[in-house]
Amino acid sequence: MDEVKFCSYCGKLTSSTYSYCPWCGKSLENKSNISDVLNHSLDKIEKIQLEDRLLELEKLESCLDHLEEEIDAFLAKSST
């Protein structure tokens, strides 16, 4: 079985015979421990999740603005 190592940049497993990560192209010469790789990967995941949550909040805000406009138009129409 081929030995593997983690890419310290993207966190993916690569063959120990590679000099560069086939996923991100970064050099694999610097040996990082698993803790550093996991922390880096988890930080990236957390950032992506935060961006996704912010996007969802923006969508909800837009929907609420639209609903508020519809309610205002409905109330204006019904009061005339």
Apex 14 CA angle, 13 and 19, nearest 5: 140
Note the pLDDT tens digit of each residue in 16-70. Answer: 888 899 999 988 876 666 777 778 888 999 999 999 999 999 999 999 999 999 9
Q: pTM of this prediction?
A: 0.52
Confidence at residue 34, expressed as pLDDT on a 0 to 100 scale: 72
* DSSP E strand boundaries for the chain: 4-6, 13-15
Query: How many Å apart are CA 55 and CA 70, to the nearest integer?
Result: 23
